[in-house]
Amino acid sequence: MTPLSFIKVHFTGMPQKGFTLVELIVTIVLVGLIGVFTTLFVYTGLNGYLRAKDTSEGALNAQITLDRISMELRDIEKINTFSGSPPIQMSYDSRTLGENRQIRFSGDIISIDDGTGPRDLLGGVTNFAMTLTAADLNNSAGGKEEVQAIDVSFNVGEIGRLFSTRIFPRNMVEEP
Alpha-carbon gap, residue 36 to 12, rounded angstroms: 39
pLDDT in tens, 119-140: 999 999 999 999 998 887 777 7
pLDDT of residue 143: 66
pLDDT at 74 over 60: yes
Three-state secondary structure call for residue 82 = strand
pLDDT tens by residue, 49-72: 998 898 899 899 999 999 999 999
The per-residue pLDDT for 70 is 93
Q: pLDDT tens, 90-123?
A: 999 988 888 999 999 998 999 999 889 999 999 9
Choose among 86, 44, 77: nearest CA to 147.
77
Q: Label residue 124 left, alpha or beta by phi (over 0 means left) and psi (-120 to 50 means alpha).
A: left
User: Mean pLDDT highest for which of 84-88, 134-138, 149-153, 167-171?
Assistant: 149-153
Q: What is the pLDDT of residues 4-15, one digit of tens each?
A: 555 454 555 555
CA within 13 Å, CB half, 79: 21
Which residue would you say has higher pLDDT here, 1 or 84? 84
pTM score > 0.85 for this model? Answer: no
> According to the model, what pLDDT value does residue 104 have?
94
